[in-house]
Structure 1
């Protein structure tokens, strides 16, 4: 790859240069696999939540980290955000089609881990 060709969508089938630091796909992967990103995606796979419901569902996450994580996932197109014009505003979050698609293997990974832990704790 020549100089200056740091981020390329490439021809059909080439894809992104995911190992390059300037690749936009890296940001999405970083957000999805962040400490809290994976938990937000897994939680939203089963239900849409308001902000505080989501915070209560994901034990240990602070409001600040939840807000930052949701902001990144909304910007990446993985999570949608709906604001109801009430006082105070009620904000609901859910997964976009893209978020559902990425959430499937994450849920599968989580299920495999918990299944393995369950088996090893009984032996």
Structure 2
């Protein structure tokens, strides 16, 4: 099993590198800011940000409203399933979640199989 972990670092200009770790059944080789290919269990909360096709933030997250980040597009996300656990904003919603799912690196997508809100939003 391959596990993924990224350190917590404070960065200037309102950016934060979030701690995250993941385990994968495959033997993927990866850097600190990429998810392994295949089934993934994120062991630290990650930020999900966006509208109908949100992004799973991997690596640096710029603290703004909404946050800005890069990562795979979540293919099957439904914000309605998590009412009260995320920040709803006219330019895009966001929240922190513990996720399990399947990462397709070629398509740059993540399909969620389990999601648990980390905590209520702080507006």
Query: TM-score when scaled to structure 2?
Result: 0.22
**Which structure carries more helix by proportion?**
1
Q: Which has the higher strand share?
A: 2
Query: What's the TM-score, normalizing by structure 1?
Result: 0.22
